[in-house]
Amino acid sequence: MDWSKLHEDRVLVLDFGSQYTQLIARRIRESHVYCEIHPYNASLEWIREFRPKGIVLSGGPGSVYDPGNPVLNEEVYSLGIPILGICYGMQLMAWQLGGRVEKAAHREYGGAVVDVDEPLELFQEIEEKGVRVWMSHGDHILEPPPGFRRLARSDNSPVAAMGDPDRKFYAVQFHPEVAHTACGRTLLENFVFHVCSCRSTWTMKSFVESVVRSAREKVGDDHVVCALSGGVDSSVVAVLLHHAIGSRLHCVFINNGVLRKGEARRVQRVFRDHFRMNLVYVDASSLFLERLAGVTDPEKKRKVIGNLFIELFEKEAAKIPRARYLAQGTLYPDVIESVSFKGPSATIKTHHNVGGLPERMKLELVEPLRELFKDEVRQVGRELGLPERIVKRHPFPGPGLAIRIVGEVTPERLAIVREADAIVMEEMEASGTYDHVWQAFAVLLPVRSVGVMGDERTYEQVVALRVVESVDAMTADWARLPYALMARISNRVINEVQGVNRVVYDISSKPPGTIEWE
Ligand code: XMP
């Protein structure tokens, strides 16, 4: 199903490998214009068929003078579509269209100040003097190509922006997509609305309407199975499809024994009682714990849980007679990672998706969130009436609490980490801190240490508190929590969780650490 066809006014971002490419698409979508990222060498036929109203050439790590540098098919310049070049995208335009590009002796990186000479459409409603922008480039432009005018300059960039209003080609040396460029949003909106004449039709309401319509068309009278985990993505997929096909959606929720406190009950309450969905609940907690007995290696734990999950899910799905589709919560960043110029970079999600299942079970995939960024998924969830608690949920690994117990998973150790986790959640929420961090959780360490309680000497277990800030989980830093909050969590865990006499705070960043301990 080609969901993207549903949004007529759209912008194409061609990716030359910049770390900021995703941000360009996010910013444009925040202005309610649909936008997709594709590799820089997307074919001309494909671009024509995609019918973008504007094309953005992203930045990239290279220099136009590097041998083998990625270049744009020059015929793209003849399509009559407005183009905005950013950083490397600008140098490339200048180089390919006959301007003068100079290889810089050293890279300019960081904040810079730009003065606007001639606003044209691009700099409308932006100050003319002292515009603060973010630069990160090697080469720079000495002279714009024929037909272009210089629009702005900075101390280090004689041509910090250029434009050819007749062909509707514009380019900027700085990065309008990053937050440090204060006027960035206005500049991108000027391009999208004034230069490309896009209308803002991309809203989550319109997304829901169109996905519901096309899901109905695609699925027809068939039935769909969906593995529900209680996380944001699978929950949104479920309500979205339920909206579209009602009782022909069958959700399977497997209790793998390593869920959070109260989670199994909560999921059933929301999806079966509130939304009135077909929900198959399988309590396999004892089976999972049996198979986990004696396993200490983190990879092995993941495998045991993953394999048993697939085995059980397959069995349940086989009981749904007319199932032809499997619904999955694949998101846009996963899609970009697999198609982009950079090639697949480290993915964080593959391990928990039910990979391999669709072929084995002869099911076709339905992935209604393929076009969405995470914050858009949350908005869709809200639009469909999912409780805030689910919409705002932190990521939670598929192998659950099992990888938050270092060493063997036993019922006793599980009870400790589950109680400690519940206290961490309660305190993070009560203090209003939950929404400001990426993840917060407790880890049970395989260590005992000496303590005193009353007059007695104790020799008990240690819980590590892990709270991190991050934007995409690829890098993370430990959160500078208020001492009072740390103290409250520590006191409560030690007093309320039997078997724990010490709480430590993890102050490692990623890299070199990871978020989970495993
Ligand atoms: P690490 O520990 O590698 O984690 O820094 C990065 C992010 O991925 C989450 N994570 C998982 N998510 N299934 C998931 O759905 C998993 O098996 C899994 N392992 C780690 C982790 O919580 C963090 O947000």
For 369-422, the pLDDT digits (tens) are: 998 989 999 999 999 999 999 999 999 999 999 999 999 999 999 999 999 999
In ligand 1, the atom with minimum distance to the C-alpha of 510 is: 5
| Ligand 1 binding residues, C-beta < 6 A | 348-349, 351-352, 395, 397-399, 439, 473, 510, 514-516
Q: Which residues contact 233 (CB under 8 A, 6 or more apart)?
A: 329, 331, 369, 377
3-state helix vs strand vs coil in the chain, percent to 5? 35, 25, 40
* C-alpha 397 to ligand 1 mean position (Å): 5
Q: Which residues contact 407 (CB under 8 A, 6 or more apart)?
A: 296, 413, 446
Band of residue 345 on the pLDDT scale cut at 50, 70, 90: very low
Mean pLDDT computed over 473-479: 92
**Annotated catalytic residue 183:** no
pLDDT at 75 > cutoff 80: yes
Overall residue count recorded for the chain in this entry? 518
pLDDT at 352 > cutoff 50: no
* C-alpha 350 to ligand 1 mean position (Å): 10
Residues 189-246 pLDDT 10s:
999 999 999 999 999 998 999 899 989 999 999 999 999 999 999 999 999 999 999 9
3-state secondary structure 80-103: CCCEEEECHHHHHHHHHCCCEEEC
pLDDT at 179 > cutoff 90: no
Band of residue 437 on the pLDDT scale cut at 50, 70, 90: very high
Tell the residue nearest (CA) to atom 20 of ligand 1: 397
In ligand 1, the atom with minimum distance to the C-alpha of 399 is: 17
- Which of 479, 462, 473 lies closest to 514 in space, CA to CA? 473
Tell the residue nearest (CA) to atom 12 of ligand 1: 397
**Annotated catalytic residue 175:** yes
Task: State both tokens at 344.
Answer: 């697949």
pLDDT at 341: 53
Higher pLDDT, 7 or 56: 56
pLDDT at 344 > cutoff 50: no
Higher pLDDT, 106 or 229: 229
pLDDT at 478 > cutoff 50: yes
* C-alpha 401 to ligand 1 mean position (Å): 12
Ligand 1 pocket test, pick from 258, 303, 348, 374 with the greatest ligand atom count within 8 Å of Cβ, gives 348
Mean pLDDT computed over 328-356: 59
* C-alpha 229 to ligand 1 mean position (Å): 14
Band of residue 450 on the pLDDT scale cut at 50, 70, 90: very high
pLDDT at 348: 33
Residues 125-135 pLDDT 10s:
999 999 999 99
Most confident of the ranges 2-11, 131-140, 193-202:
193-202
pLDDT at 447: 96
Band of residue 357 on the pLDDT scale cut at 50, 70, 90: confident
β-strand 223-227 against 323-327: which pairing, if any? parallel
pLDDT at 461 > cutoff 50: yes
Ligand 1 pocket test, pick from 259, 401, 441, 515 with the greatest ligand atom count within 8 Å of Cβ, gives 515
* C-alpha 502 to ligand 1 mean position (Å): 25
Select which of 87, 198, 226, 251 is catalytic: 87
* C-alpha 477 to ligand 1 mean position (Å): 15
> b/e for 207-228, b at 16 or more Cβ within 10 A?
bbeebbebbeebbeeebbbbbb
**Annotated catalytic residue 194:** no
Task: State both tokens at 235.
Answer: 């929950």
Select which of 38, 175, 243, 250 is catalytic: 175
In ligand 1, the atom with minimum distance to the C-alpha of 351 is: 17
Question: What average pLDDT does the structure give for the chain?
Answer: 92
pLDDT at 241: 97
Mean pLDDT computed over 362-373: 91
pLDDT at 349 > cutoff 70: no
In ligand 1, the atom with minimum distance to the C-alpha of 470 is: 24
pLDDT at 185: 96
* C-alpha 60 to ligand 1 mean position (Å): 28
pLDDT at 350: 39
